[in-house]
Chains A and B, each alone.
Chain A
């Protein structure tokens, strides 16, 4: 598990942790039913407040990304991954639709648009 805290970021620390854990759960780097570090030990390892860490976990639990077993700790939950993929797909569709609209408004053909996307994603590799 990898986590970074950026003190210069405007995002609150609890949010940074929650977002990074979420990303790793969705990508599969953290597997279903995997035991997460305890709140206190994660806080101490990252040298941040216990309350901040608890808040990140609370948020993830509320969103269904992890579950708590009393006396044992916090584990990665499974159910939301599909849902999140679904949500991401929807967001991608929306972005693409916006791009298509913008393209149409300035006479960029669909083929050109597809070529642009291909070049962009190739550039990232």
Chain B
């Protein structure tokens, strides 16, 4: 079963159009959404959660339309948005008490466990929380109502490397149960690189790419060569490039590379940067 399906999903604003997007996240998998600021990641997530009205297409969560199945469907979705906001005057424990009334499946013991694991203070009020503490509290709430799908918008932003490593571990652990899935957007590509089964690139509202992560390494590579050698390559095959006075780095499909030229491995971050730039030139 697919945890999430987007079909021809569209949202139009003045000066910005998102989509049409087609994206599938199978159960048991983790999909990483990568994109520049303003590429449409948060808009996509808001459309999935029906926080904004879509102008076309469909969103299905576990096979059901997101509008028909809500609010019950919301029980199944754990959400961490870019900005975590709770009432300023509440402590973490009080947030837990309120959530017990919000979610039928609230797991108070799990929540307390996460508060301890994240080292969140008991007495402090939310307004005194640091950015990282706010994020951690949001993550603790999202993980404590027995959700089947986690939707995370920049969940690791503002966290230090140790905390980031810990939450990335928790997200990975979440899909040990094959009926669950995670959609995660982040600028911190290294966090996604190891974790994700699928990677999607969003660029200026369009899906540039959605592929099994491992296949990306196989399909694409970077050719580092002299300018003269670069001139001999069919420009249509070049998906993106970076030039210096001393040579050229070009992103290619491996099959398009000229024989005898060594194509190096490309990491996801480089792939994205080169592709986003290359897309601009065309």
Q: Tell me the A residues contacting B by CB distance below 8 Å.
A: 7, 10, 12-14, 40-41, 43-44, 47-52, 55
Name the residue on B nearest A5 (C-beta).
B194
What are the residues of chain B within 8 A of A47 when measuring CB–CB? 168-169, 172, 194-195
Residue B197 lies at the interface, judged by CB distance under 8 Å to chain A: yes
Interface size on B, residues (CB 8 A): 21
Supply 11 A–B pairs (Cβ within 8 Å), ascending by A: A12-B214, A40-B28, A40-B178, A44-B173, A47-B172, A47-B195, A48-B194, A49-B197, A49-B213, A50-B175, A52-B197
Q: Tell me the B residues contacting A by CB distance below 8 Å.
A: 28-30, 168-169, 172-173, 175-176, 178, 194-198, 212-214, 217-218, 265
Expressed in whole angstroms, the Cα–Cα distance for A67 and B175 within the complex equals: 25
Is B176 within 8 A of A49, CB to CB?
A: no
- By Cβ-Cβ distance, the 8 closest A-B pairs, closest first, are A44-B176, A49-B197, A51-B197, A47-B172, A51-B212, A52-B214, A10-B265, A50-B197
What are the residues of chain B within 8 A of A10 when measuring CB–CB? 265
Is B213 within 8 A of A52, CB to CB?
A: yes
* Known contacts A40-B28, A49-B30: A7-B217 contact under CB 8 Å: no
Give the A-B pair count, Cβ closer than 8 A. Answer: 45
What are the residues of chain A within 8 A of B213 when measuring CB–CB? 49, 51-52
Instruction: Report A76 CB to chain B, min CB distance, Å.
Output: 23
Name the residue on B nearest A51 (C-beta).
B197
Instruction: Report A54 CB to chain B, min CB distance, Å.
Output: 10
Expressed in whole angstroms, the Cα–Cα distance for A44 and B196 within the complex equals: 11
Name the residue on B nearest A52 (C-beta).
B214
What are the residues of chain A within 8 A of B197 when measuring CB–CB? 49-52
Name the residue on B nearest A44 (C-beta).
B176
What are the residues of chain B within 8 A of A41 when measuring CB–CB? 176
Expressed in whole angstroms, the Cα–Cα distance for A50 and B213 within the complex equals: 11
Instruction: Report A15 CB to chain B, min CB distance, Å.
Output: 10
What are the residues of chain B within 8 A of A52 when measuring CB–CB? 197, 213-214
Expressed in whole angstroms, the Cα–Cα distance for A55 and B173 within the complex equals: 20
* Known contacts A44-B173, A44-B175: A49-B28 contact under CB 8 Å: no
Task: Report which residue of A7, A49, A51, A55 has the largest number of chain B beta carbons within 10 angstroms of its beta carbon.
Answer: A49
Is B214 within 8 A of A14, CB to CB?
A: yes
Instruction: Report B254 CB to chain A, min CB distance, Å.
Output: 13
Given A40-B176, A43-B172; 9 other pairs, CB 8 A cutoff: A7-B194, A44-B173, A44-B176, A47-B169, A49-B30, A49-B197, A49-B214, A51-B198, A51-B214
Expressed in whole angstroms, the Cα–Cα distance for A36 and B191 within the complex equals: 28
Is B172 within 8 A of A44, CB to CB?
A: yes
Name the residue on A nearest B28 (C-beta).
A50
